[in-house]
Structure 1
Amino acid sequence: MTDTAVSPAPARASAFHELKVLWVRHWTDQLFSFALERPDDFRFRSGEFVMIGLPGEAKDGVSGKPVLRAYSIAGPTWAEELEFFSIKVPDGPLTSRLQRIQAGDTVLMGRKPTGTLVLDALTGGERLFLIGTGTGLAPWLAVARDPETYQRFGQVVVCHTVRSVADLAYRDFLTTGIHDDPLVGDEARERLVYYPTVTREPFETPGRITDRIASGALFADLGLPPGFSPGRDRVMLCGSMAMIKEAAALLETFGLKEGSNAEPGDYVLERAFVG
């Protein structure tokens, strides 16, 4: 009988990258950002999201299924690290643990980025409004640092609505820090407008962004003609489901049509985040 060598079956590739945490920044007791090392072969479009998670907690020595949720990538496509912006939910299945990560820890990340909050899903226009609530700011941090954004639009308006002034994470960056960006700093200085609103504390631009759109205050504050124009304006929406649904309904009243990767339009929202 001849002894025949048998080649082992190829190992199945993991559905996730296991990535080292590079840094963590806690903005408030409810908000934090973190960065992961970037795999050499990982590519994404500004505005896309990816699954982030941690291994399931072990029971009887056996690891449970990974706990995951979708996170928009908050850093630019050309960065050497991958940045994310997260809420902290005390009893959340993921963020109750994720908020405790430190530099050097390991986090799981899906291999395939996806999403509709991308420039490819919009037709051409003159002005781009990036409207977000809370951590819905994350994709705009990538879009606002993408050179293509300024090639396609003459003005970019980042609207960020939060409950308290302390929740305006990245305020300094969007006000002045982005002006030092190596790729879009000059364009951002001339053409990026940061428009924050606060709902539960006194602030120079108070209230929900949808209320300021409906009342015309947004346009008056920016010195723009009232209302959105289908021929001129393009809009991206990300954040709370209530804001997205209300804002989308408002945009439709102005004649703007929703777009997608397959059929670009006047505005886009992330369907994966909307119930």
Structure 2
Amino acid sequence: MINFEIARPKKMKFKPGEFIMIGLIIRGELVFRAYSICSPTWSNTLEFYSVKVPNGLFTTFLHTITTKSSVIIKMKPAGNLILETLRPGKRLFLLCTGTGVSPFISIIFNHETYIKYNEVIVVLTCRYSQDLQFFNNKLKQLTKVSHIRPYAKNKLRFHLSVTRELYPYIGRITWLIKSGRIIADLMTYNFNKMDRFMICGSWQMVFNVTKLLKNIGYKRGTTNNPQDFVYEKAYINYLRGKKIESNLWLTG
């Protein structure tokens, strides 16, 4: 896994949790992929977190870019993982796997997140403990941001687990919820009607977690109808071939 940064166009605006389309010229063709923005909205750069897909066309080329490389981005961000899709609540759970933590980095660096919620709990599951390092590094950075640190203090919590090696916490997110391990490990109170959830990760993980939340009684929200939980529907639509209109910007 790698993280990389590109210059942020001065006119580009985005909300914490949104993604943009990144394009590379590969073998003479322009190829786009969707990437969630890790950066805070006040950053002068756009940061992304990527995994190299074995034999993957885009990520193979992506991992060869340098400071002299140019990429193309679509100027209009999109996405459902924004605070406006959720009803007012007291606890916000950010449930993610692997690079699915990306949009939540931007969210926890946003002071409005802590104004809206009494607790913000990141639940991240990866295959190996080394895959947790990116998030741990971001936590260290957050403690050094003077205008965010006071908001996050005593409100930001996290539960990190792995699935393929020994670690203090082991298990997939669905099991952690079903078994009550998240609640027990965090020594907090059970889920209730004032809890809100955002989910990002592999399609199978998103399917399993949203199904579980629906069975518990939570409802999926949208910008037009804020509810209890949300997942990245716009990104899934892209994967299914639906077009997201936007302008292009060359950066390098």
| TM-score, scaled relative to structure 2 | 0.90
1:102 is matched with which residue? 66
1:159 is displaced (CA, Å) by 1.0
Gaps of 5+ in 2: 241-252
The 2-side partners of 1:146 and 1:154 are apart by: 14
Q: Find runs of 4+ consecutive structure 1 residues off by over 6 angstroms.
A: none
CA deviation vs aligned residue, 1:2-30 (integer Å, no higher than 9, x gap):
xxxxxxxxxxxxxxxxxxxxxxxxxxxxx
The 2-side partners of 1:117 and 1:186 are apart by: 24
Identity of aligned residues (%): 38
3-state secondary structure, aligned to 1:242: helix
1:187 is displaced (CA, Å) by 2.2
1:229 is matched with which residue? 192
3-state secondary structure, aligned to 2:114: helix
Instruction: Give the alignment partner of residue 121 of structure 1, picking from 85, 94, 97.
Output: 85
Instruction: Give the alignment partner of residue 204 of structure 2, picking from 200, 224, 242.
Output: 242
The 1-side partners of 2:3 and 2:186 are apart by: 29
The 2-side partners of 1:272 and 1:263 are apart by: 15
Structure with greater contact order relative to length (CA < 8 Å, sep ≥ 6): 2
- Over alpha carbons, which structure has the higher Rg? 1
Give 2:73's aligned amino acid.
M
**1:211 matched to 2:181:** no
The 2-side partners of 1:253 and 1:229 are apart by: 13
Contact residue 126 and residue 233 of structure 1 kept, 8 A: yes
Alignment of 1:1-275 (within 5 A): 31-58=1-28, 64=29, 66-226=30-190, 228-230=191-193, 232-274=194-236
The 2-side partners of 1:47 and 1:122 are apart by: 13
Give 1:136's aligned amino acid.
G
3-state secondary structure, aligned to 1:108: strand
3-state secondary structure, aligned to 2:67: coil
Gaps of 5+ in 1: 1-30, 59-63
Contact residue 143 and residue 149 of structure 1 kept, 8 A: yes
The 1-side partners of 2:76 and 2:144 are apart by: 30
Q: Which has the higher helix share?
A: 2
The 2-side partners of 1:78 and 1:175 are apart by: 17
Give 2:202's aligned amino acid.
S
Give 1:262's aligned amino acid.
N
How many residues are matched?
237
| TM-score, scaled relative to structure 1 | 0.83
CA deviation vs aligned residue, 1:156-211 (integer Å, no higher than 9, x gap):
00111100011113243354431222321122232101211100000111011111
Give 1:56's aligned amino acid.
I
2:248 is matched with which residue? none
